[in-house]
Structure 1
């Protein structure tokens, strides 16, 4: 039985890469006189590479990329502040996000989000996508004082939804932080693959593998597929 469905945010509900590229185009246009000699395509590609899917803090990315392209070193703080304030304006969901959540809700599921990151920044993205009105609980690592893959964070989320971990399904894109973290907390899991390969140095995915959010709907009806 599945009583609750929980999701990661970045690259699971939020199409972070598409959203970030749209923001970077706008930011480059507004700050280009301070960014050195880089054309947008070069700036974008270097930023995406350094960002490493959000694993490198932008307080590191901006000074480094400005130095590489002979930009104004003093622009780093302004760019970081701009990123924190405006990035959420470009938030884009993955296809089927709202429809999938609405259908899960109609089936009586409790819904939640567990995300690593800074509270204000992640909250802006959650609100921009309307997720604050679609789910029952949001746990952000900075607020909770815990980070995925710590099983305690997943257990806390289950408790907030008044569901045992064994009756929770967690969907996320990160093999370690999301899938193995939730699995180790006793949850069923689904890896949101998005065309990527599972790391060869890890054991096989412990649950389902999906390419579209809409596939979650079949999983809640087929618990054996995600155990």
Structure 2
């Protein structure tokens, strides 16, 4: 007599990206990364900075009001898109020592809204962002079995959604490079929706995007606070993967998760999901 088919507990699976599906190492403080950006600005738009440190100082200065406005609007979990900051860099002319500019110069800096970037400005901002991202990334690769696991879940009829804290200008190219985009039914990136995990808002956005029931949805991630507790705040169960780039103070197993696994154990995850 055949065994009865076990009813699945979940219809929808949300995934974190970095540290859950993708192994990555970045250093956004790297002088070499800022130097790569400085060289592209100088070679292709004539914008001259004294050195990489001067460029970083001016980028941080331009980004500060963007971050502040976002925090005022969305609170501590705000995630503004920084592409307008890259666009503002390209709009500069010759900058010898931007760190010495006064408050008036900062106030007059042309950092617009993402929606207002024109068709010629946006590609240039994307190019600058991707230049910096590539130069600041030391490692980028899928964990073994990640793509096959995502494919198997969808073949089994589950809805698969990416929910990532990230800058779209960095992550969208990486998703394409890793051939991940076609493996998701939905993609929610924090800078595109203005809010980051652990805010329940980003989870509600992801749920609404695929018309999912939170009670039949599970979040898989490697960060207990952002992925497990954040999802729990939206009524979503969590599966915790303790990987090499989980936060250092995270536990080996999360008491807040319905399942904890050691590393990117996709076989264990699929067994739990009944796939």
TM bin, normalised by shorter chain, reads 0.5 to 0.7
Distance 1:3 1:96 in 2: 21
Distance 2:15 2:254 in 1: 22
Per-residue deviation, 1:88: 7.4
Partner of 2:162: 113
**Is residue 175 of structure 2 the alignment partner of residue 93 of structure 1?**
no
Q: In the alignment, which residue of structure 2 is the partner of 1:219? A: 272
Q: Is the 8 A contact 1:13 1:93 kept in 2?
A: yes
1:8 corresponding residue in structure 2:
16
1:1-227 counterparts in 2 under 5 A?
Answer: 1-17=9-25, 20=26, 47=27, 58=28, 61-62=29-30, 74-76=51-53, 77=55, 82-85=131-134, 91-194=140-243, 199=250, 204-210=255-261, 211=263, 212-221=265-274
User: Separation in 1 of the partners of 2:32 and 2:136?
Assistant: 20
Relative to structure 1, the CA distance from residue 110 to residue 81 in structure 2 (aligned partners, 3 Å threshold; closer, same or farther) is closer
Aligned partners of 1:63 and 1:88: how far apart in 2?
Answer: 12
The separation in 2 between residues aligned to 1:215 and 1:203, in whole angstroms, is: 16
For normalisation by structure 1, the TM-score amounts to: 0.67
| 2:223–2:240 Cα contact (<8 Å) kept | yes
- Distance in 1 (alpha carbons) for counterparts of 2:150 and 2:32: 39
CA deviation map 1:146-173 (0-9, x unaligned): 1100011112111212211111111111
Q: Deviations over 1:58-82 (max 9, x none)?
A: 2xx135999xxxxxx7135499863
> Judging changes above 3 Å, is the alpha-carbon distance between structure 1 residues 112 and 88 closer, same or farther for their aligned structure 2 residues?
farther
Alpha carbons of structure 1 residues 64 and 176: separation in structure 2 relative to 1, 3 Å: farther
Other structure's SS at 2:10 match: coil
User: 1:206 deviation in Å?
Assistant: 2.7
Q: Which residue of 2 aligns with 1:25?
A: none
Whether the aligned pair in 1 keeps the contact of 2:240 and 2:254 (CA below 8 Å) is no
Question: TM-score of the superposition, structure 2-length normalised?
Answer: 0.56
Distance in 2 (alpha carbons) for counterparts of 1:153 and 1:81: 24
Give how far 1:216 is off: 1.6
Q: C-alpha distance in 2, partners of 1:188/1:217?
A: 15
CA contact (8 A) 1:95 1:213 kept: no
Q: Secondary structure at the match of 1:101?
A: helix
Distance 2:173 2:10 in 1: 29
Q: Would the aligned equivalents of 2:24 and 2:138 in 1 still touch at CA under 8 Å?
A: no
How many residues were matched structurally? 176
State the alpha-carbon separation in 1 of the partners of residues 156 and 33 from structure 2: 47
Structure 2: gaps of 5 or more residues: 1-8, 35-49, 57-127
Superposed CA RMSD = 3.2
What SS class does the counterpart of residue 92 from structure 1 fall into?
strand
Distance in 2 of aligned mates of 1:96 and 1:126: 16
State which structure, 1 or 2, has the greater radius of gyration over its C-alpha atoms.
Answer: 2
